[in-house]
Structure 1
């Protein structure tokens, strides 16, 4: 039974939060934010207009702020909950507005939902004791 319970692996919420913070932050930064940052001029004209009010270049700038700046903050664990909230809002917009809440098939927002859940977890849990702003 101990094998099935993984009792030989030390249990640490703080280590789990560190792994979640760093993996979510790095993947968002490297796989999504950095490309938007480097190719702002090329991506801006085709980027979504938020609620058909916010121009695409401002909408893209807001996404870059979340996906680059807030990802770095999340990785370091500085202003963790603020960074996670910005990223969660960005992923909520991506999932519900851009992907229309679709979870499978073409244009699926499954990845945006996974990110949203991870970032929402960090909003409520914080960064843990291994974060720069940890207690």
Structure 2
């Protein structure tokens, strides 16, 4: 089988090594800044019971509904979930699920810098079950 011929690549610059000028004299290339990922450690504290506290490291671009999903994943079916920043008060309650942590004023730091910790307090009511099988205890 005969060898394939090598393809010739079009040179992006002229023969002397200088880049070709853009046809538009007013052209300025768009400078896109490098996006830095900011991380924050959420110190999640249940209001009345410290055994269920946990820490969760997330990006500041994480939306509030993801935080609510993580709480529900850890505790099971819950209702009336309230999440507050810094201390548990109605003025500090985070209500809009589509806002990011950064939009709520929770700033982070790049991974190579010192860890940023934000206190988040939460409270909820467990889902009430009417099913007697779910309320029964094991008997041996």
TM-score range, shorter chain: under 0.3
Give the TM-score, by structure 1 length.
0.22
More strand by share: 2
More helix by share: 1
